[in-house]
Amino acid sequence: MLRESPPLNSNNPLIGTKYDPLVGDVYTLHLARVNERRPVIASENICDTQGRLLLQKGAPVTGATAQEIVDTKLLLPIEHSIVIDNEIDGNQLEKDFIAVMRGDDILHSIHDRYSLDTLLHQQCSSYQSYPLLRQKITVLAERMPETYNRSLYCAWLAMLIAKEMRLPRQEINAVFLGALCHDIGMLHVNPQVLGKSDALTAEEWRELQTHVVIGQKILACIDGLPSQVSLAVLEHHERCDGTGYPSGKVESELSLLGQIIALADSVIAVYHNRFKPHGRSWRDVIPVIQMNNQAYFYRNFEILTTILRRSEMPQPGVVGGDGMPDFIEKFIQQQGDMKARFKRFEKLLLSFGYTHGDRKLHALQNVFLHIATSINGSGIFQNNYGEWLEQVKSKCLSQTYSEVEDAYLMLEEVSFHLQRLNRMIQIYASSGSCKDKAIQEALEAELEKESQDDRVDAPIRNIHTRLDDEETLITE
Ligand SMILES: [Fe+2]
């Protein structure tokens, strides 16, 4: 059953997304690939708007048919005209959750400590009552298994935060379903953009970002699904400090459920992209969240850090005593480089003043001010920080080694944010929106310096291979 998708904010820059549920897109190609493992069958005749029969009721969606359907306007969205045999139902979903939990000792112990079995079972039963969710989740699991796995983690963590917040049952259910489906829009995004290993162009970034709008449109049409679910999916990349997308909303404009998913999604991404590959623990995400606490609802942040702190996680100790003096030396060097880079951004962005009337430039300046507030709050650029590090090194203060590692993680976070700011400046400078020639030239000069800095910095960063920043573009 379909219902009308509610209108979106007309200022939303992604509203022009090409997605049209009636036009065959890459999702049809995904269906054809799923058909190779589980039959994907037309549940009714699939016709174009001229009445031409593209696939007969009962026939499978093959590669050849899918090619014919791509870019063709259909009478009904393809997802409403097919069924998948042996799809991921509520039981299978629950089994997948349990398998994910068993694969991670820390999460498993948190799961038991908070007695989440019954709650999880209820959520999986509720999922069972939405056929389109089952279809999308099945296709996601088949075609993007890593994204599916992350969605399981995200749904589990979002459910736990909502429970600890003592939200009503319906809201816990809405946040669970939203977290589970938050990236289903990716199934309609060009796989070449998703799989690109080089840096994305501004245009590709915009395409990637459409996944939130597509996800919202799909979910908003599912009869009986609470409207909070689609809104939360739309907002899962928004940030309280206005630095997110698609609309750059600020705290007062955002829904609680969307922000629970945003926090859970970020934490899972940081852990999987940056810590897990280097053998680091869940505990390490705490300093990273601390550096970003302005981006999320404070209450959500507080609950999550309490859950992680209570989980009796081992201290990290990745660097080891012997390597610590060398590590600290490189740390101090990187801290100096980072501070100089930060000062350059400060000089540049504040030099434009605030009377230029350019909304996008204001947004960039605000992003910088938020980074500056986090840095000042952490104290990581203060002179006595360097003195403390020198002391730890010269006196071999091994009891503080884990604090040094935490501090390094905060520095890495600063690096990540400065890179993100640099990318935003790049997008702005290449968009042609800047009408002030002097500002445009100043931005371009800074981008040139940044690209040169990257080349100089690289060998220093490579020394810390175990702590290297491997943040992906998709799931920041
Ligand atoms: Fe996303």
User: Distance, CA 237 to ligand 1 centroid (Å)?
Assistant: 6
Ligand 1 centroid–CA 57 distance in Å is: 34
C-beta atoms surrounding 270 within 10 Å: 22
Q: How far apart are CA 255 and CA 82, in angstroms?
A: 33
Extended strands (E) in 29-174: 40-42, 46-47, 53-55, 82-84
Please answer whether residues 73 and 22 qualify as being in contact, where contact means their C-beta atoms are separated by less than 8 angstroms: yes
Q: How many angstroms is it from 135 CA to the middle of ligand 1?
A: 19
User: How far apart are the CA of 74 and the centre of ligand 1, in A?
Assistant: 27
Q: What is the distance in A from the centroid of ligand 1 to the CA of 342? A: 28
Q: How far apart are the CA of 238 and the centre of ligand 1, in A? A: 10
Say how far apart CA 41 and CA 23 lie, in whole Å.
19
CA 236 – ligand 1 centroid, Å: 6
From ligand 1's centre to the CA of 310, what distance in Å? 28
Q: How far is the CA of 190 from the centre of ligand 1 (A)?
A: 15
Residue 111 CA, ligand 1 centroid: distance in Å: 24
Measured in Å, residue 180 CA sits from the centre of ligand 1 at 11
404: CA distance to ligand 1 center in Å?
32
Using the mean position of ligand 1's atoms as its centre, give its distance from the Cα of residue 263 in Å: 11
* Residue 250: strand pairing partners: 241
Q: Is 395 exposed, middle or buried, given 0-12, 13-18 or 19+ CB atoms closer than 10 A?
A: exposed
Identify whether the C-beta of residue 182 lies closer than 8 Å to the C-beta of residue 261.
yes
Q: 186 CA distance to ligand 1 centroid (A)?
A: 8
| Residue 390 CA, ligand 1 centroid: distance in Å | 41
- Round to whole Å and give the CA distance between 240 and 293: 9
85 C-alpha vs ligand 1 centroid, how far in Å? 27
Query: What's the 412 CA to ligand 1 centre distance in angstroms?
Result: 22
Q: How far is the CA of 185 from the centre of ligand 1 (A)?
A: 8
Cα–Cα distance between 189 and 74 in angstroms, integer? 19
User: Residue 289 Cα, ligand 1 centroid: separation in angstroms?
Assistant: 18
How far is ligand 1, taken at its centre, from the CA of residue 356, in Å? 33
Instruction: Give 370 Cα–ligand 1 centroid separation in angstroms.
Output: 22
- Written as tens digits, the pLDDT of the chain (476 aa) is 333 333 334 344 454 567 899 999 999 999 999 999 999 999 999 999 999 999 999 999 999 999 999 999 999 999 999 999 999 999 999 999 999 988 888 899 899 989 999 999 999 999 999 999 999 999 999 999 999 999 999 999 999 999 999 999 999 999 999 999 999 999 999 999 998 888 888 888 889 999 999 999 999 999 999 999 999 999 999 988 787 889 888 888 999 999 999 999 999 998 888 778 777 778 778 778 777 777 788 788 889 888 887 776 555 555 666 777 888 888 888 888 889 999 999 999 999 998 888 888 988 898 888 888 878 877 888 888 888 888 887 877 777 777 787 788 788 878 878 888 888 888 889 888 888 899 999 999 888 887 776 544 433 333 232 222 333 322 23
CB 408 within 8 A of CB 467: yes
Q: Measured in whole angstroms, how far is the alpha carbon of residue 464 from the centre of its chain? A: 25
Angle between helices 131-143 and 117-128 (to 10 degrees): 110
DSSP label at residue 441: H
Using the mean position of ligand 1's atoms as its centre, give its distance from the Cα of residue 164 in Å: 24
- How many A from CA of 182 to the centre of ligand 1? 6
Ligand 1 centroid–CA 367 distance in Å is 20
